[in-house]
Structure 1
Amino acid sequence: MASENKHVVFDIVGTCVSYDAFFEAIEARLGDRLRAQNIGPARLFGYAWMETGEKEYTYMSLTNKYVPFFDIFRSIFYRVLGQAGIANPRSFATDDDREFLLASYRTLRPRPGLLECFEKLRSAGYTVWALTSGDTTRVAGYLEAAGAKFPEENFFSCDSIGIGKPAPSAYQFILDKFPKENLDLWFAAAHIWDAAAARQCGFKGAWASVWEGEPSPDIYGEMEVTADSLTELADNIISYTGKK
């Protein structure tokens, strides 16, 4: 018999919304300057900036000194330019450039099929939740702009927990919200490390290839569900549960 206690917790940034607007802004603002220094493509600098930000956000959380992601993201801009090969980062770019790019990060757009994904799950009896490492105002704004606003009681940020993913206590915080009887509980992400970490805490893992492309099962293991799109992810979650 299908469970009546069905929930899917989604990562948001990178999973439900894409980074395209951010990469486009880097190309528009710094692309020619980067190429003049034989650095490119601009997307690679954006990736390095984001990944360095996520690394240092996680490291700070591990030291029990939690710092919101966006504060770290802003702080490391010139350092990442230096690591990209810019000899004098503060002559190459300005604070106005940095703030323009940070503003673009606040305008990330929904991935194709996002609304259909949520609707499919809700129609199948699932409650949809969000657990994000981003700040509540910014990330909730992405969803609201896409027409996918979450009830406040279904939306959680690591900022309010005071510890970042993938620390087990971040997932346990939301896991404790659910009654344990007949629980069918999923964590859906486009970051395989995120879904894999949630699985270790008792979630089933659902991974979409829309960001990383490669799941690296040799490191992270096999997820219960994988898909190439958000709509397929919803279909596969529903199908998986129906077979049990």
Structure 2
Amino acid sequence: MSITTCIFDAYGTLFDVNAAARIAAQEPGREAFAAVWPDLAEAWRRKQLEYSWLRAITGDHTDFWTVTQDGLDWAMEACGQSDPDLRERLLQLYFELDAYPEVPDMLRDLRNRGMKTAILSNGSPKMLEGAVNSAGIGALLDDVLSVESVGVFKPASAVYDLVGARFDTDPSQVLFASSNGWDAAAASAYGFFTVWVNRRGDPVDRMPGRPSLVVSDLSDVSNLKEI
């Protein structure tokens, strides 16, 4: 079957998860934070993901905004940052993340080629609404699908089921792109044609599924001839 539907993970794939810490570090009066922001951003993202996996395993689900706050609190403590105003600023900025530069043109090109486009994300609906609006890409998406409708985080198969339920597609008709190697691997095992957006040049995860294609950024997705 040919690809009819292009689905994208949100955080780290469409939206720059490091932007919140990077922007805050450039603001006046945050010189101490500027010295540690890369470490904090990395720890924040790592703990955000780890907490989502642990909650999926234990069945102790909560929304992704809570997980995001928990991850930030851990990262701030680990990096010696205790300013409550900084915490609130980082959370505000996370609600307003920028899209990567290539995203609007890539989505526009796919839609011009007749593809359905959507987000499938761990993010809660309000978080995703904020990011989509801030990035100005709402008109380029057919839908924004959140795991909150099934109450479990990726890589649970119930999350990937949302695509077929929404678009009435077979998995083989779906291109799924994620910057998370584990997400691309799980989606590949599920049956999607997967694109791993490997922005950091990491090794491929050793999981049952392997990404169908590895690219350095999303501009390569709209260049794919087979879709």
TM-score range, shorter chain: 0.7 to 0.9
SS at match of 1:240: coil
Quote the offset at 1:46 in angstroms: 1.5
What is aligned with 1:10? 8
Matched, 1:48 2:43: yes
Task: Please identify, of 7-16 and 177-186, the stretch whose mean Cα deviation from structure 2 is larger.
Answer: 177-186
Change (3 A) 1:31 1:219: farther
Could you say which residue in structure 1 is the equivalent of 2:84? Answer: 95
Counterpart-to-counterpart distance in 1, 2:140 and 2:101: 22
Alpha-carbon distance, 1:48 to partner: 0.2
Bigger shift: 169-178 or 110-119? 169-178
Report the equivalent of 2:56.
Answer: 61
CA contact (8 A) 1:117 1:230 kept: yes
- How far the C-alpha of 1:7 sits from its partner, in A, is 0.6
Distance in 2, matches of 1:114 and 1:6, equals 19
Alpha carbons of structure 1 residues 152 and 10: separation in structure 2 relative to 1, 3 Å: closer
Partners of 2:33 and 2:37 in 1: CA distance: 7
Question: Against the structure 1 CA distance between its residues 217 and 162, is the aligned structure 2 distance closer, same or farther, given a 3 Å change threshold?
Answer: closer
Following superposition of structure 1 onto structure 2, how do residues 159-198 of structure 1 map, counting pairs within 5 Å?
Answer: 159-180=148-169, 184-198=173-187
Inter-partner Cα distance in structure 2 for 1:26 and 1:131: 28
**AA matched with 2:103:** L
| AA of the residue aligned to 2:68 | F
- Matched with 1:89 is none
Normalising to structure 2: TM-score of the pair? 0.85
CA–CA distance in structure 2, aligned partners of residues 67 and 96 of structure 1:
25
Offset of residue 177 of structure 1: 3.4
2:117 maps to 1:128: yes
Q: Which runs of 5+ in 2 are unaligned?
A: none
1:179 deviates by 3.6
Query: Cα distance, 1:109 vs. partner?
Result: 0.5
Larger radius of gyration: 1
Asked whether the equivalents of residues 187 and 209 of structure 2 are also in contact (C-alpha less than 8 Å), the reply is no
**CA distance 1:229–1:20, shift in 2 (3 Å):** same
In the superposition, relative to structure 1, how do residues 53 and 20 fare at CA in structure 2: closer, same or farther (>3 Å)? closer
- CA shift in 2, pair 1:169/1:143, >3 Å: same
The Cα of 1:53 is off from its aligned counterpart by 1.8
2: CA distance, partners of 1:153 / 1:33: 42
2-side partners of 1:214 and 1:200: how far apart? 20
CA change 1:192–1:220 in 2 (3 A) is farther
- Alignment map for 1:1-244 (pairs within 5 Å): 3=2, 6-28=4-26, 32-33=31-32, 41-84=36-79, 86=80, 92-149=81-138, 154-180=143-169, 184-210=173-199, 212-216=200-204, 218-219=206-207, 222-236=210-224, 239-241=225-227
- In structure 2, what is the Cα distance between the partners aligned to 1:182 and 1:50? 29
Paired residues in the alignment total 226
Report the Cα distance in structure 2 between the residues aligned to 1:164 and 1:49, rounded to whole angstroms: 17
| TM-score normalized by the length of structure 1 | 0.80
SS at match of 1:176: helix
CA RMSD of aligned residues (A): 2.7
Pick closer, same or farther for the CA change 1:144–1:171 going to 2, 3 Å. Answer: same
